[in-house]
Chains A and B, each alone.
Chain A
Amino acid sequence: MGTENPGRPNFPMRPPPGPFASAPPTMTPFSSSRPTPPSAPPTMTPFSSAGPRPLARFSDQSVPPPPITSVPPVGGPYQQFPTSPFPSTAQSPPIRAPPEGQPPFQPRASQVSASSVSFPPQSQVPPVPMGSSPQSVNFSPSGVNVPQPPTGLLFSGPRPNIQPTFSPPDSSYSATKSNFQPPFPGYPSKKPAVSQAPSPFPAQQGSFMPPPPASSSPFSSQQGSYAPPPPVAASLGYQSRGQMQHPSSAPPIGGIQSLTEDFSSLSLASLPGSIDPGCDHRTLPRPLDGDEEPSSFTKMYPMNCNPRYLRLTTSGIPSSQSLASRWHLTLGAVVCPLAEDPEGEEVPVINYISTGIIRCRRCRAYVNPYVTFTDARRKWRCNICALLNDVPGDYFANLDATGRRIDLDQRPELLKGSVEFVAPTDYMNRPPMPPLYFFLIDVSLSAVRSGMIGVVAQTIRSCLDELPGFPRTQIGFITYDSTIHFYNMNQSLAQPQMMVVSDLDDIFVPLPDDLLVNLSESRNVVETFLDSLASMFQDNVNVESAFGPAVKAAFMVMSQLGGKLLIFQNTLPSLGVGRLKLRGDDLRAYGTDKEHLLRLPEGSFYKQMAADLTKYQIGVNVYAFSDKYTDIASLGTLAKYTGGQVYYYPNFQSSIHGEKLRHELVRDLTRETAWEAVMRIRCGKGIRCTSYHGNFMLRSTDLLALPTVDCDKAYAVQLSLEETLLTTQTVYLQAVLLYTASCGERRIRVHTAAAPVVTDLGEMYRQADTGAIFSLFCRLAIEKTLTNKLEDARNSLQLRIVKALREYRNLYAVQHRLGSRMIYPDSLKFLCSYGLALSKSVPLKGGYAAAQLDERCGAGFTMMALPVKRLLKLLYPSLIRIDEYLLKPSAQTDDFKNIMKRLPLVAESLDSRGLYLYDDGFRFVIWFGRMLSPDVAKNLLGADFAAELSKVILSEHDNEMSRRLMRILKKLRESDPSYYQLPYLVRQGEQPKEGLLLLVNLLEDQMGGTSGYVDWIMQIHRQVQQNT
């Protein structure tokens, strides 16, 4: 029983999702009316020191003194205001027709169970009075028939008290959000008064109390803030109502909390004793658990594709344009068509070559689990456009006794949201291309000096066996400085023949064949070439770079087949077409209207080239290494429009960064890649895709051309309503990727998702998905920096957040006296923290001096392609204290999880006696506290532990501690193989390195003119309150 000591110090900030997962169901039937009592202790105590705060803190509201003794759980400023759309008591659950087409978990069942079974008689007794609760609680404990979560199936078993169950109604008001939220040191006094006390107990007892019989008026009189639920809710269409009221039917897991309460709030009233209005930064919500996939969505529509493929910014699609316009967080979706599947969950591949793939005649949608068969199953209705199509004879099947198609088990496309069809000949205009890798390597002086060539050559050589597509894989090389060097790799040669073309104005290909060869045949020649590449140019003193002509040459060689072009560029292109100027040095441009031009490609060459490359199915990945300005904005354009990626290694030194380059290049070469792909997203009637964001080229209005795609690429799309009013109850989206797999098969990958149409704005907010929202915001903001000043991009981001919160506040402002609280739906509790993180991210942060132009552009290109999870990790990196783990006598690998307690990104989190690991998914920073025991440093760094850390390279030493550290790093790297995190070591107080590496990334701190987290919240809050 965790609940006993809510005040206990030292709890993890947030409970792992687990606890609620189980808990929420308990409350479901009446969820709306009830708050969850704090479930487990950990949930509530944030910082050990905090303990129960004096209630007094929240002076602003008048409250009856808390009746009870119970330690107020650390409720903190978060509170939930339950809505009770159905004021009627629990006993008479609202009648609700199950909406058609709703998935099977039946709300209805749950209601029944709730009403008939679950309540212990006593529980019904004490409906109203709040304060009293503790007693009331206590008496019920008999606990036997504690109704367990009425979730669809398992409500029955009386659970041991462990699970928090329903608290008395009153408690609901207080609804300490604590469960979900980061800890709050104090409990808000007023509500607490009411609810507080009880809550801890009920949790223990697991007793179930009936909700207040009727309106909550009694309370409301006491406190304005707990008013009866907004009428809106009550008037919802049945559909949305169902969701609100019977969350049980929906997500059994985490997502529930968002349904159970109406909103969360954050007290921003002034603290007693302090003059400034402010709030305790410890109580602010922080995304320390990383990304949470929206589970409600998948639970409601179990046949939807997994959220790793497709996520909507809100799972409630607005039913009208007016509603949509009040949702300021952008209606849209993030699609990651080839997301990596966990073991055992591969997308099924289906072969319908003989019968043809079933598609809708009008909208060309593919058959999916949501189509309905009618007319004696001779017709099927397309769920996207509602057209009745004929069922071909081969596809006809009878139903069995339960109304399922008898062949359902053999038809994965009718069962799963994600399937792959083998494409018939009509889907290819040429035979499937072989995987093709072409390398364009800069061999000018700076490239030689940095050692890049050697690392690249070795890495490619080590990957030759793992390149996908054996035995068809094709490979080719060009190197360039002021001239362009072609290599004849014919298998009959003992070693490659080099041909130099120095006419940059009129590039020609010196040899018709053999510049691009079959890897398995010319393997020896390729190996000889790679072995000798570094030494061939080691004395090269040429500083020029004919980048443009070299790209053109590569294009000419590859244009027959397409494929992947990897460009390794070390200097600013200086010769031939596509020559670039040192425009980044022009300080006068910064801060003016012309500033954004620096983030756009120069001239038309790069855009035109990118368009040509895409047309011939060539995808470009740019690796840039220079320590000086190389105009990533221009170079990256090649990657941006060809579905590629930009890797930027500023100031590359092979001894330091070699490992990172090696891993990322290996990943790039060996990950499963889809070739010559196109993607289209079809939306149900009334919805339209308005714009697409990511790295690709738009071939027609809605067809994304993606010469190469892989699992590390995601695309965002904005949706809008086409009609003023949606008449359907569900909207469907279908993302289809047609591609050639490395094995030479042409395939069609279809992801289908359904989302309910809602008529209530509150519901939209409740169903919001922060991860998807920020994926979209991030892309919009970065695109905005290409046409505006950085500041404008940040402001428009802030404006969106403010508008959204204001709209949300208006929803509830009438019913609840909100005073100076900030309210937001639980689903958006991290809106502010990610908002702050985004505006401090590299592409958006500060003025021109805050980040190098190249770094900014490089990060921008990278972030445009990142899938949701990785993006969130980058926005709010993790900070972990690891010295305790390293020092523990017998640390097992299994307590690895325990040490992964993420700390808030504030300077206060850093203890000078500790060793910290900062991980943003792209690099590690290991921070040595000043008072850290020298033993630790010595063990980790070897003999030279006292030396300048920038020179030290972390390597494994022969002691347990060092091995353990390496194990941690390895584990973290394995969890996300797409980028390699290079460890940087820094000692406390070592300036300016510490500042650059770590302090600047502690994004909740105030730093050089940017606001800290608390200020940011206050600022947003003030803006929200204006004009409300």
Chain B
Amino acid sequence: MVKLTMIARVTDGLPLAEGLDDGRDLTDAEMYKQQVKALFKNLSKGHNEASRMSVETGPYVFHYIIEGRVCYLTMCDRSYPKKLAFQYLEDLKNEFERVNGAQIETAARPYAFIKFDTFIQKTKKLYQDTRTQRNISKLNDELYEVHQIMTRNVQEVLGVGEKLDQVSQMSSRLTSESRIYADKARDLNRQALIRKWAPVAIVLGVVFLLFWVKAKLW
């Protein structure tokens, strides 16, 4: 069953349309929406260039396709047939390109094509029930190379950027720490020197002092 549907521009992650009353009877709809937003942000940075992908998250799966710089994403139950989900996205894509194709690049405000939500709503209903005749026949068609679509985990996907960040952070930390180490080593060296020669110097000093005092008194 389709839970969420979102359409966004890949170049800057700007949301273009979203399904009406999405997230109904979904307990943490907000959290999933946040994940979707993070995903879009990742996409706009150029990660994950695969144009079709499924991303697992908790009990659900995000399916998305990227076409013409627009990302169509839907969230379904894990049990929902992948084939249908992609068919659904394909339907959205065709209609969206037909209606708004020309204005996608120039859209300047979020949800510029919110009117598309009625179509999303309508199409969603068609795909709601997997056992309708229409959907079963679709399942039987081998329309897509659905099997080749990669499935990854959301943590993994969202984590790619994070890991890179971590590495660079670590290396920079390494540099600064080694510098500190060098400083410290120099300091210790000096201290060791002092510790080694200080007693000798003191003894000599005392001896000279005695000599001097002696010479003075007598």
> A residues bordering B, Cβ < 8 Å?
351, 353-354, 422-425, 428, 430-432, 434, 471-472, 513, 518, 520-521, 560-561, 744-746
Contacts and interface: CB of A to CB of B under 8 A. Distances in A.
Interface in B49-81: none
Interface in B1-42: 14-15, 17-18, 20-21, 24
A240 to B, nearest CB: 45
A472 B115 contact: yes
A850 B197 CA distance: 109
B132 to A, nearest CB: 14
25 contacts: A351-B108, A353-B14, A353-B109, A353-B110, A354-B108, A422-B109, A424-B109, A424-B110, A428-B110, A428-B111, A431-B15, A431-B17, A431-B117, A432-B111, A432-B114, A434-B20, A471-B115, A472-B115, A472-B118, A520-B118, A521-B118, A560-B21, A561-B20, A745-B109, A746-B111
Contact of B14 (A422, A425, A431): A425
Nearest to A514: B125
Nearest to B15: A425
A422 B109 CA distance: 7
A281 B24 CA distance: 66
A560 B21 CA distance: 6
B contact face: mostly helix, strand, loop, or mixed: mixed
B121 interface: yes
Given A354-B108, A431-B15, A521-B118, 17 more contacts: A351-B108, A351-B109, A353-B110, A422-B109, A423-B109, A423-B110, A424-B109, A425-B14, A431-B17, A431-B114, A434-B20, A471-B115, A513-B125, A560-B21, A744-B111, A744-B114, A745-B109
A560 B122 CA distance: 17
B21 A561 contact: yes
Interface string B125-167: 1000000000000000000000000000000000000000000
Nearest to B37: A425
Contacts of A472: 114-115, 117-118
Interface size bracket, B side: 10 to 19
A contact face: mostly helix, strand, loop, or mixed: loop
A85 B102 CA distance: 69
Contacts of B122: 521
Nearest to A427: B110
B2 to A, nearest CB: 13
Contacts of A424: 109-110
A353 B108 contact: yes
Interface string B86-109: 000000000000000000000011
Contacts of B108: 351, 353-354, 422
A355 to B, nearest CB: 11
A773 to B, nearest CB: 40
Contacts of A431: 15, 17-18, 111, 114, 117
Contacts of A520: 118
Contacts of A746: 109-111
Contacts of B21: 560-561
A660 to B, nearest CB: 35
Contacts of B20: 434, 561
B12 to A, nearest CB: 9
A522 to B, nearest CB: 11
A428 B125 CA distance: 26
Contact of B118 (A423, A428, A518, A560): A518
B72 to A, nearest CB: 15
A881 to B, nearest CB: 54
Nearest to A433: B20
Closest A-B pairs by Cβ, 5 of them: A431-B18, A560-B21, A744-B114, A425-B110, A422-B109
A430 B17 CA distance: 11
Nearest to A474: B20
Given A353-B109, A353-B110, A518 B15 contact: no
A520 B111 CA distance: 20
Nearest to A351: B108
Contacts of A521: 118, 122
A96 B34 CA distance: 60
A524 B20 CA distance: 22
A724 to B, nearest CB: 45
B121 A744 contact: no
A353 B108 CA distance: 7
Nearest to A429: B30
Q: Name the residue among B15, B110, B125 with the largest chain A CB count within 10 angstroms.
A: B110
Nearest to B12: A354
A354 B117 CA distance: 24
B118 A471 contact: yes
A532 to B, nearest CB: 26
A353 B111 CA distance: 12
A390 to B, nearest CB: 23
Q: Name the residue among B18, B21, B108, B125 with the largest chain A CB count within 10 angstroms.
A: B21
A512 to B, nearest CB: 8
Contacts of B110: 353, 423-425, 428, 746
A864 B125 CA distance: 44
A434 B117 contact: yes
B106 to A, nearest CB: 12
A471 B115 CA distance: 7
Q: Name the residue among A422, A431, A518, A561 with the largest chain B CB count within 10 angstroms.
A: A431
Nearest to A744: B114
A740 to B, nearest CB: 10
B164 to A, nearest CB: 25
Contacts of A434: 20, 117
Contacts of B117: 431, 434, 472
Nearest to A513: B125
A423 B20 CA distance: 20
A432 B21 CA distance: 11
A353 B15 CA distance: 12
Contacts of A513: 125
Contacts of A428: 110-111
A472 B114 CA distance: 9
A616 to B, nearest CB: 12
Contacts of B125: 513
A428 B21 CA distance: 15
Contacts of A354: 108
A738 to B, nearest CB: 14
B171 to A, nearest CB: 30
Contacts of B15: 425, 431
A471 B122 CA distance: 13
A451 to B, nearest CB: 35
Nearest to A491: B122
A684 B114 CA distance: 37
A560 B24 contact: yes
Nearest to B13: A425
Contacts of A744: 111, 114-115
A935 B17 CA distance: 66
A563 to B, nearest CB: 11
A871 to B, nearest CB: 36
A431 B23 CA distance: 12
Contacts of B109: 351, 353, 422-424, 745-746
A419 to B, nearest CB: 15
A352 to B, nearest CB: 10
Nearest to B33: A430
Nearest to B121: A518
A521 B121 CA distance: 12
A746 B112 CA distance: 10
A431 B125 CA distance: 20
Nearest to A745: B109
Contacts of A351: 108-109
A560 B20 CA distance: 9
A472 B20 CA distance: 10
B127 to A, nearest CB: 14
B154 to A, nearest CB: 21
Contacts of B118: 471-472, 518, 520-521
A900 to B, nearest CB: 45
A430 B18 CA distance: 9
Interface string B195-216: 0000000000000000000000
